[in-house]
Amino acid sequence: MRIKKQLTPETLKMHDKIVRSVVDRLQREGYIVRVNNDYHPNGRPNSCGGFTPDIQAIKNFHQILIEVETCTNNHSKDLIKWKRFSSNGENQFWLIVPGNCLESFKQKKESFNIPMSLYCSNGNGKLEFIS
């Protein structure tokens, strides 16, 4: 999967596990999925506001931009990216995080009033909608 320089090997493994799990689920649901890595057969997602999401899913002219974050990410750097992904009225933006750092992301979403759907996943195939 894509390299995030600030991630340790352990958190990079968790990030990639969640990405794979979400991609598998969306493909089973009939979405055409693009993943931000060099090896996905459908290619990389289109950029949005100067940033490229981890996942872009399209079905019936409906597009979802998805970013997977881990507990060790510097959230302040990501706020601009999240706002750009969520500000395009044509897109829906999902932020997917591991359960052990969910509260931190909920606070960021509420504090900065970012219109996104927050989900929780640990890469086990389950995707729980939070808010």
Whether pLDDT at 52 is above 80: yes
What's the pLDDT tens digit per position in 5-15? 566 888 888 89
Given a cut of 80, is residue 81 above it in pLDDT? Answer: yes
105-115 mean pLDDT: 90
Find which of 20-24, 70-74, 108-112 is predicted with most confidence, using mean pLDDT. Answer: 20-24
Give pLDDT, residue 119. 95
Q: Are the beta carbons of 25 and 35 closer than 8 angstroms?
A: no
* CATH no., domain 9-129: 3.40.1350.10
Predicted confidence band of residue 90 (pLDDT cuts 50, 70, 90): confident
Tokens of 115: 């219109």
Element containing residue 26 per DSSP (H, E)? helix 9-28
Dihedral of alpha carbons 84, 98, 77, 113, sign: positive
Question: What is the residue-averaged pLDDT of the chain?
Answer: 87
Q: Which of 99, 88, 92, 90 is nearest to 122 (CA)?
A: 99
Q: In the structure, what pLDDT confidence band is assigned to residue 53 with cuts at 50, 70 and 90?
A: very high
The domain locations on the chain are: 9-129
| Six token digits for residue 71 | 């507990």
